[in-house]
Amino acid sequence: MNYELINQIGLGTPAWQTQKKRIEQDNRTLLTLTSMPRFSEVLKNEKVKGVNLIDHLTGRTYDPDGYRFFNDVPVPETAQIFMNGDGSISIINDGEEIAKEFLFSGTRRQAQDVRYENLDGSLDYIHEFEIDGSTFSNIFYYNDDMQEIAFMDNDENVHVRFFYYNGAINLITVEDPQSHKTVAKYDTLNQFLAAEVAKMTNADDTVTITYLGLELDAVSQTKAHTVLDMVESPWDDAGNVRGNLLAILEGRLSYVDEVLVNQADYDRLQREGVATAKLTVVDK
């Protein structure tokens, strides 16, 4: 497989246009890291093939004809779904608002999520939907701080959990949806991405990345041939070679095998005495 790995799709940005062009020209498969309830819709609209890491772990499939109307969301039997005059949607139970419903932008009243509230008005949890109407995740809060995201398959079985402390991920678990036993556990997002991308790929694959941040961490354990094809300059605003790029070219970050540059950038790097063994000149 030939993958174009990105953290998330930046629709409408020059970076995405460059990435999409590479996907189309080389028949690549888009591999995204960040969860995205509208992922299937984006693939369809952008006419690219792809897989999302979280969807891969949950085994999620998409119903191209699926659609959940705003008044068809799971609420208590005695609750009513009420469209307010300002267009907002309230879930009313025993005369009290217990939740607010939000819609996918640009749709005809298509349910995006239901946000349940505690008695003091703080968030309790969010029931999040995939664009096809199936449950995507449950997001739990305490004192308005996110505590956990439970990512589900189409049958609402949990496969992956992200746990948060003080706004940051401090534990990720992958579990068997039937026994609920933990099959993998990670202390950081970087550990999770590196290990799970490595499981998805093999030595016969090629994985191309664009940026030197999270995407770089994600390929740190893969046996695939890894390629860096940057959309930004190799130099920072101070005129210095970017730190992680220099570490790659000098062999201190050994898991990137090849760096693609244009002829002008190659010549300048060579003049500055930067190692060029990993550089490949391409038209850009």
Residue 284 has pLDDT above 90, yes or no: no
The residue with tokens 């970087």 is: 190
Q: Average per-residue pLDDT in the chain? A: 96
3-state secondary structure of 209: strand
- What is the pLDDT averaged over residues 164-174? 96
Residues ≥6 apart with Cβ < 8 Å to 30:
3, 4, 6, 9, 19, 23, 43, 48, 49, 50, 51
CA angle 92, 156, 72 (to 5 degrees): 35
The span from the CA of 20 to the CA of 259, in Å, is: 19
Determine what percent of the chain is predicted with pLDDT higher than 70. 100
273: left (phi over 0), alpha (psi -120 to 50) or beta: left
Q: Where are the domains of the chain?
A: 80-187
- Residues 231, 233, 203, 255, CA torsion sign: negative
Report, as an integer, the average pLDDT of 238-255.
Answer: 97
Q: Which residue has the tokens 């025993």?
A: 94
The tens digit of pLDDT for each residue in 175-204 reads 999 999 999 999 999 999 999 999 999 999
Helix ranges (H only) for the chain are 14-25, 39-46, 53-58, 189-200, 214-218, 243-249, 263-271
Any idea which residue has 């010549």 for tokens?
A: 267
pLDDT 10s digits, 197-218: 999 999 999 999 999 999 999 9
- Report the Cα 110 to chain-centroid distance in Å: 22
Cβ contact 172:192 at 8 Å: yes
pLDDT (tens digit, 9 = 90+) per residue, 71-128? 999 999 999 999 988 888 999 999 999 999 999 999 889 999 999 999 999 999 999 9
Average pLDDT of the segment spanning 3-10: 97
CA angle 174, 206, 9 (to 5 degrees): 65
Distance CA 239, CA 194 (A): 30
Considering the domain 80-187, what is its CATH architecture? Alpha-Beta Complex (3.90)
What integer pLDDT is reported at residue 160 of this predicted model?
Answer: 98
Q: pLDDT confidence of 25, banded at 50, 70, 90?
A: very high
Backbone angles phi, psi at 227, to 5 degrees: -125, 135
Sign of dihedral through CA atoms 236, 238, 244, 245? positive
Name the pLDDT band for 281 (thresholds 50, 70, 90).
Answer: very high
